[in-house]
Amino acid sequence: MKLTKCEVGMFKLPGIIVSANEDETLTPEQLQEIEDWCNTEQGTGKRMTDSLWSFRKESQRDWFVLRWS
């Protein structure tokens, strides 16, 4: 899994693009697992599209990267 930092929306919120490496594919089950984690007390972030996630703070994005890298 490849995680790329970005800015999202007109308020330039911290975001991340989740994509597959060259030798793998992201399954809907993997994306659902990430989304389920984000909906728990420990998780942060909101899924904007299949590959784009936004966060309110950079620290929340960093927590996401730490968990899924």
Mean pLDDT of the chain: 89
**Domain extent at residue 44:** 2-68
pLDDT at 14: 95
Amino acid at 65: V
pTM flag (> 0.85): no
> Does pLDDT of 42 surpass 80?
no
pLDDT confidence band for 21 (50 / 70 / 90): confident
Domain count of the fold of the chain: 1
CA distance 6 to 26: 19
What the block records as the tokens of 8 is 């999202």
Pair type for strands 2-8 and 52-54: unpaired
